């Protein structure tokens, strides 16, 4: 479940996040975010320890005893923070992947015990996910953020509900490294973002987040993040490759070759950006991975064209067409009544004319000559029956082709359902605050001439 949804459904406690500009002595501007040895060396500054403790005391915590997790850059950094906190009278310990399960369980039990003096556990990687410490009331972000997924996982360690716990305090010490803007992407809580939506979220203190969550960044941190967002080219191949390979690391190093892989983790990138770059997600993966096997797969012209055409419809503007195609994956023929029944499994209502328009669209009734040349015909319309084409039949006989084509269909349906649910939007099928190109408007208006001839300007639907 996404953090935004968990907050909205009151499944987790709200959090009070404070983005605090790090001390001047910490300069990470010229250090790659993955150079942990150099980052560790630069973070081991006594003045920074004092600054962290000063802010912990200033912002406080919910509950009688502080129960804190501090996320560090490395094991050496975690050991250092533990030693310095203990020197300053704050009982602390550290854990890493080297510690066996009994040791971890013992430390966690000490932290949770109100009568035990332990207040802080510093760690690197073992609390990112899957560890349950409900009573944690403070989280310290002490290292540069290099992944929105990891940031959300670490934040989530303190969000579990617990008796008499009304909120989590999060102190994030924001340095001047080049990926500071990833914090804004993580806190924004939306899979789909652009520069303007991120800047708006920052300027309003992420006011769109539900419940009693409070996010406050000091002015220097805000300005630093906004400047990076302005400079970053979210659509450049360089940025997209970095985003992809960071996600691959979170996927345990396995190539995430399916669009549905991106729904495993909150904070995952929007794969439609990869599609926009290379016309299909599989084309993007084949290119950045230099994967000869995938490249050979894409050498089949019919498969590649079909994949690109289906991908071009993401994110879906209406669900009907993909529902019908999904049915054709398993059944060679679909009647208009069967299509209507399949669509009604996804939405509360649908008009017959829209069902038939979707069948006509899949029959390429509204394609111009150029579109027909670049798009394999997957179905033929005979009266009120849509029949799987020979080309589609041949593709489905190959399990690998079928897997990747169906992944696009499944992702399109799943994403549409998450965003719009089962609501019926009528004709034209517009939703508030969404933007549409004119060919989208033609499709959603049940326009029955060539959609490329539907002229006008981009449509933005507002109340």
What pLDDT, in 10s, does the model give residues 93-121?
Answer: 999 888 888 998 999 999 999 999 999 99
Q: Pick the residue with more confidence: 147 or 192?
A: 147
The predicted pLDDT at position 132 comes to 72
* pTM: predicted TM-score of the whole model, two decimal places: 0.84
pLDDT tens for 363-398 read 999 999 999 999 999 999 998 999 999 999 999 999
pLDDT classification of 324: cutoffs 50, 70, 90: very high
pLDDT in tens, 240-299: 999 999 999 889 899 999 999 998 888 889 999 999 999 999 999 999 999 999 999 999
**Per residue in 32-70, pLDDT tens?**
888 999 999 999 999 999 999 999 999 999 999 999 999
**Can you give the chain as a three-state secondary structure string?**
CCHHHHHHCCCCCCEEEEEEECCCCCCCCCCCCCCHHHHHHHHCCHHHHHHHHHHHHHHCCCCCCCCEEEECCCHHHHHHHHHHHHHCCCCEEEECCCCCHHHHHHHHHHHHCCCCCCCEEEECCCCCCCCCCCCCCEEEECCCCCCHHHHHHHHHCCCCCCCCCCCEEEEEEECCCCCCCHHHHHHHCCCCCCHHHHHHHHHCCCCCCCCCCEEEECHHHHHHHHHHHHHCCCCCHHHHHHHHHHHHHHCCCCCCCCHHHHHCCCCCCCCHHHHHHHCCHHHHHHHHHCCHHHHHHCCCHHHHHHHHHHHHCCCCCCCHHHHHHHHHHHCCEEEHHHHHHHHCCCCCCCCHHHHHHHHHHHCCCCCCHHHHHHCCCCEEEECCEEEECHHHHHHHHCHHHHHHHHHHHHHHHHHHHHHHCCCCCCCCCCCCCCEECHHHHHHHCCCCCCHHHCCCCCEECCC
């Amino acid at each position: 479940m996404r953090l935004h949804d968990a907050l909205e459904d009151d499944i987790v406690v709200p959090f009070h996040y404070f983005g605090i500009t790090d001390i001047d002595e910490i300069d990470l501007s010229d250090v790659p975010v993955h150079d942990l040895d150099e980052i560790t060396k630069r973070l081991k500054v006594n003045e920074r320890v004092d600054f962290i403790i000063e802010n912990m005391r200033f912002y406080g915590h919910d509950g009688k005893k502080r129960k804190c997790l501090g996320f560090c850059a490395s094991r050496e950094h975690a050991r250092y923070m533990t030693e310095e906190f203990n020197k300053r009278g704050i009982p602390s310990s550290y854990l890493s992947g080297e510690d066996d399960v009994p040791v971890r369980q013992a430390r966690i039990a000490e932290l949770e015990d109100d009568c035990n003096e332990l207040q802080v556990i510093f760690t690197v990687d073992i609390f990112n996910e899957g560890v349950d410490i409900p009573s944690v009331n403070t989280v310290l972000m002490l290292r540069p953020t290099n992944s929105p997924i990891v940031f959300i996982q670490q934040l989530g360690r303190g969000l579990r509900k617990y008796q008499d716990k009304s909120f989590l305090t999060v102190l994030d010490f924001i340095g001047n490294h080049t990926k500071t803007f990833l914090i804004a992407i993580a806190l924004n809580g939306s899979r789909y973002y652009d520069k303007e939506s991120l800047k708006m979220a920052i300027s309003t203190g992420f006011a769109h987040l539900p419940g009693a969550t409070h996010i406050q960044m000091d002015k220097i941190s805000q300005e630093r993040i906004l400047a990076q967002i302005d400079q970053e080219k979210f659509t450049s191949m360089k940025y997209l490759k970095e985003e992809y390979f960071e996600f691959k690391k979170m996927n345990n190093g396995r190539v995430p070759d399916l669009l549905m892989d991106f729904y495993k983790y909150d904070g995952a990138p929007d794969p439609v950006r990869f599609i926009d770059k290379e016309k299909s997600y599989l084309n993007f993966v084949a290119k950045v991975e230099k994967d000869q096997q995938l490249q050979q797969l894409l050498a089949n012209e019919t498969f590649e064209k079909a994949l690109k055409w289906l991908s071009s419809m993401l994110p879906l503007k209406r669900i009907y067409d993909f529902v019908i195609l999904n049915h054709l994956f398993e059944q060679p023929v679909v009647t208009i009544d069967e299509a209507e029944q399949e669509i009604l499994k996804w939405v509360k209502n649908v008009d017959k004319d829209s069902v038939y328009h979707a069948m006509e669209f899949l029959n390429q009734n509204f394609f111009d000559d150029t579109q027909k040349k670049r798009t394999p015909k997957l179905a033929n319309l005979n009266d009120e029956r849509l029949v799987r084409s020979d080309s589609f039949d041949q593709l489905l006989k190959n399990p690998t082709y079928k897997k990747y084509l169906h992944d696009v269909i499944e992702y399109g349906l799943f994403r549409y359902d998450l965003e719009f649910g089962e609501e019926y939007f009528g004709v034209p099928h517009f939703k508030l605050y969404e933007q549409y190109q004119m060919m989208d408007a033609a499709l959603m208006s049940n326009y029955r001439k060539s959609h490329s001839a539907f002229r006008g300007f981009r449509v933005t639907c507002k109340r």
